[in-house]
Amino acid sequence: MTVQTRPFDPADYLDGPEAIAAYLEGAFADGDPAEIADALGVVARARGMTTVAEQTGLSRQALYKALSDEGNPSLSTLLKVTRALGVRLSFQPA
């Protein structure tokens, strides 16, 4: 018997603000810039990349590139994206 699998896309499960915040919190907890950029990209795809691009004033292509796991978004891009996604950064003592 062959086991059938299908690709897992976390964007399919980010259906509300709480799920998005928890997903991003997990990505930021590790502090890996590639993981953070990728997680923001997943959330942007869940929200609609075109919509997020319009809200940030960036092109879809620039947004995809900045939020890929090889991307390195600038602080201003990061702030624009988090604002467009309806989340904000917060800090706690380590």
How far apart, in whole angstroms, are the C-alpha atoms of residue 22 and residue 40? 12
Predicted TM-score of the model (pTM):
0.86
> Region 64-78: what's the mean pLDDT?
89
* Per-domain boundaries in the chain: 23-85
Report whether 40 contacts 84 (CB < 8 A): no
pLDDT tens-digit map of 4-26: 999 999 999 999 889 999 999 99
Q: What is the CATH number of domain 23-85?
A: 1.10.260
